[in-house]
Amino acid sequence: MPDATVTLPPSETQEVSAPLLVRAARRQQGDGLPVWFMRQAGRSLPEYKRVREGIAMLDSCARPDLVAEITLQPVRRYGVDAAIFYSDIMVPLKAAGVDLDIVPGRGPVVAEPVRDRAGLERLVPAEPGDLGFVDEAVRLLVAELGETPLIGFAGAPFTLASYLVEGGPSRDYARTKALMVGDPELWHDLCARLATMSAHFLRTQVEAGASAVQLFDSWAGSLSAADYTTFAQPHSARVLAGIATVPRIHFGVGTGELLTRMGEAGAEVVGVDWRIPLAEASRRLGPAYAVQGNLDPALLGAPWPVLAERVRDVVRSGAAAPGHVFNLGHGVPPETDPDVLGRVVDLVHEEGPTLRAEARAV
Amino acid sequence: MPDATVTLPPSETQEVSAPLLVRAARRQQGDGLPVWFMRQAGRSLPEYKRVREGIAMLDSCARPDLVAEITLQPVRRYGVDAAIFYSDIMVPLKAAGVDLDIVPGRGPVVAEPVRDRAGLERLVPAEPGDLGFVDEAVRLLVAELGETPLIGFAGAPFTLASYLVEGGPSRDYARTKALMVGDPELWHDLCARLATMSAHFLRTQVEAGASAVQLFDSWAGSLSAADYTTFAQPHSARVLAGIATVPRIHFGVGTGELLTRMGEAGAEVVGVDWRIPLAEASRRLGPAYAVQGNLDPALLGAPWPVLAERVRDVVRSGAAAPGHVFNLGHGVPPETDPDVLGRVVDLVHEEGPTLRAEARAV
């Protein structure tokens, strides 16, 4: 803590007054521990189901009033330390005219999968005005949120490409990988275009006031480290390079072998799933990165005393990292009891600082 | 190589004449490289689709003539170095009276999921005679196969339990994990019973003449190493302990963090998926274990020159391990072109020994 009698230079003054999430990303949180949940907006909340009734997913993403309301709902209910913009990684593609839908219970479905040069040429990045509804929603939100930071987000080129090439969700990404290794030139051109679209989506959110961003490369963990480095990382790096003014979180599932490369792509915070303890993830990443995670969302249905002990384990393990943002290891499952998430937030807020202080003293 | 003029003790004589797969498992293969594929029997072969026409999956597993024919088909077509018994990990449960079906395109579906003590009590292991059709099929096969070894197999208790508790395939194993951590006594009783059933299934195959076994813990990679060690490994170890007379292969997907524990469960060979190079897997496992794998099955649709180079990479990386069985990193996808698998086998046989010799000389 700086001595109150000393006049701080502007940058340090800023740090002290920055939101806890931003300080954690900058490895300056002390014992404070911010908490938010991937997919906290939407899905499991009854108030979400009410406002979404009769409105298709992608239509809801295009209505700034609805986006703001849905983004705010979990902040009101849980008192989490950050809002995550309610949208979908496919939104910039939809705005650019790609014929796609988010099918309930299935995910993004693309009418004409992209598998050749002609398919790529149909993919024309949006004009600046095409994401006006995103800009408007973020401005509404930032005004409403006050001190609570808003996290903007986008999909990483590899994960976006997997939906475009497969035409929908996939178990093995066979068409994606066959295209990737079989026609690297087409692959890199496709990912470069997707990087432009994701960067534009992110920049729109940051310029409208988002305090941090998260790049979702949800399915990167299906790649070996060598393939990730060749075919995915350079494109994610281009997206992240355009947003260096705010803390950048980089997340994927099953990425234990990719953590250092995901950090090197240009992030301050690397998201970790539940397969690796945060202390071990931080050991692999080194002192330059904060970590985010990593409670197993499948445990949200466990009896509370057991779940509470798991939450404490995550807090203790995260204390070994130079920065920690508490989160799940993946998104909130649709069937989650919202009261359980509320108890997790309360536990992190009530016990987090003490647990961190104890763990860091050892 | 032993000097030909020296009289070898019986055990070494045996080793020299043992099938290449068995020698690889015992880390005595030299430059020879055996190859087989998980799911080589069934699924993608046209001759398989012909004989299965109009016969449900689990019915086909109960007919020894059909099991033998389907198991032999890929051996005839590809000249692989091992046959894998055509069956399903759920067969011993079906034989014990569990109401379940294998639904095409979906997987095992259990009519009454097991989620409490009463459900567990309904699970009565089969009597010795209940797997008579397995014994008969293996005997038919061993007589037909001649020099080619037959690999028997079973499901590991964690993976079997996940189907029983969820009632079918799952993305996140939420009910399974909630039961596991929430009622450990019930969990361990359930897995102990499943271990008895799997061990009985395996023993039936080994006593009838199988030369090796593979324990499939396909979904173990969804667990952290700590949870794997507490909740899965002891039960898999019990299954494997009962079959110590033949080489034991232990396989799961996404198990980079679990490899050493899967070896310690009592295997000679640890199966590795494509996320980790075999040389790195072997480094983690140490000199006491052979490895199996690990071509990414999603690459089987890539242009042949690219795929061929990937096959060579796997062979070279595997040469760093004290033993290597060439395989995919997971099962053959249903849409695979059989000719491609044939070319992979030919490449491994033609170039494998030279590539191994070169890699081992470095």
Low-confidence ranges of chain B (pLDDT < 70): 1-16, 128
Active-site position among A48, A78, A86, A163: A163
> Strands A150-155, A83-84: parallel, antiparallel or unpaired by DSSP?
parallel
What is the model's pLDDT at position A16?
57
The residue in chain A having the minimum alpha-carbon distance to the alpha carbon of residue B225 is A275
A254 contacts chain B (CB < 8 A): yes
| Predicted structure pTM score | 0.94
What is the model's pLDDT at position A36?
98
What is the model's pLDDT at position B336?
96
| Chain B contacts in chain A segment 155-174 (CB below 8 A) | 172-174
Predicted complex ipTM: 0.92
Place of tokens 């760093």: B320
**Residue set of the binding site of B for substrate:** 39-43, 88, 163, 218, 330
Nearest-by-Cβ selection for A302 from B182, B299, B303: B182
What is the model's pLDDT at position B184?
98
Where does the pLDDT of residue A291 fall: very low under 50, low under 70, confident under 90, or very high at 90 and above? very high
B335 and A174 within 8 Å at the Cβ level: the answer is yes
> pLDDT for A78-133, tens place per residue?
999 999 999 999 999 999 999 999 998 889 999 999 999 999 999 987 776 789 99
A284 contacts chain B (CB < 8 A): no
What is the model's pLDDT at position B129?
78
Where does the pLDDT of residue A202 fall: very low under 50, low under 70, confident under 90, or very high at 90 and above? very high
Which residues in chain A are closer than 8 Å to B115, comparing Cβ atoms?
none
Q: Does the annotation list A222 as a binding residue?
A: no
What is the percent of chain A where pLDDT is above 70? Answer: 95
A312 contacts chain B (CB < 8 A): no
Secondary structure of chain B in HEC code, one letter for each residue: CCCCCCCCCHHHHHHHHCCHHHHHHCCCCCCCCCECCCCCCCCCCHHHHHHHCCCCHHHHHCCHHHHHHHHHHHHHHHCCCCEECCCCCCHHHHHCCCCEEEECCCEEEECCCCCCHHHHHCCCCCCHHHHHHHHHHHHHHHHHHCCCCEEEEEECHHHHHHHHHHCCCCCCCHHHHHHHHHCHHHHHHHHHHHHHHHHHHHHHHHHCCCCEEEEECCCHHHCCHHHHHHHHHHHHHHHHHCCCCCCEEEECCCCCCCHHHHHHCCCCEEECCCCCCHHHHHHHHCCCCEEEEEECHHHHHCCHHHHHHHHHHHHHHHCCCCCEEEEECCCCCCCCCHHHHHHHHHHHHHHHHHHHHHHHHC
A221 and B275 within 8 Å at the Cβ level: the answer is yes
Nearest to B148 by CA among B34, B287, B286, B61: B34
What is the model's pLDDT at position B16?
57
Mean pLDDT of A241-255: 96
Where does the pLDDT of residue A242 fall: very low under 50, low under 70, confident under 90, or very high at 90 and above? confident
CA–CA separation, A215 vs A20, rounded Å? 20
Domains identified in chain B, total number? 1
- Tallying the residues shown for chain A, one arrives at 362
Question: A–B: how many Cβ contacts below 8 A?
Answer: 92
Where does the pLDDT of residue A200 fall: very low under 50, low under 70, confident under 90, or very high at 90 and above? very high
The average confidence (pLDDT) of chain A is: 94
B254 and A276 within 8 Å at the Cβ level: the answer is no
What is the model's pLDDT at position A3?
39
What is the model's pLDDT at position A125?
78
> pLDDT for A122-150, tens place per residue?
998 777 678 999 999 999 999 999 999 99
A297 and B174 within 8 Å at the Cβ level: the answer is yes
Most B CBs within 10 A among A115, A172, A223, hence the mutation to make, goes to A172
CA separation, residue A199 to residues A21, A132, A155, A191, B33 (Å): 22, 15, 9, 12, 47
Chain A: give the shortest CA distance to residue B39, in Å.
Answer: 15
pLDDT of residue A158 exceeding 70? yes
What is the model's pLDDT at position B5?
40
CA–CA separation, B204 vs B27, rounded Å? 26
pLDDT of residue A43 exceeding 90? no
Q: What is the CATH number of the domain that holds B16?
A: 3.20.20.210
B310 contacts chain A (CB < 8 A): yes
Q: Does the annotation list A99 as a binding residue?
A: no
pLDDT of residue A10 exceeding 60? no
The residue range of the domain holding B327 is 4-361
B224 contacts chain A (CB < 8 A): yes
Active site residue A39: yes
Question: Catalytic residue numbers of B?
Answer: 39, 43, 52, 88, 163
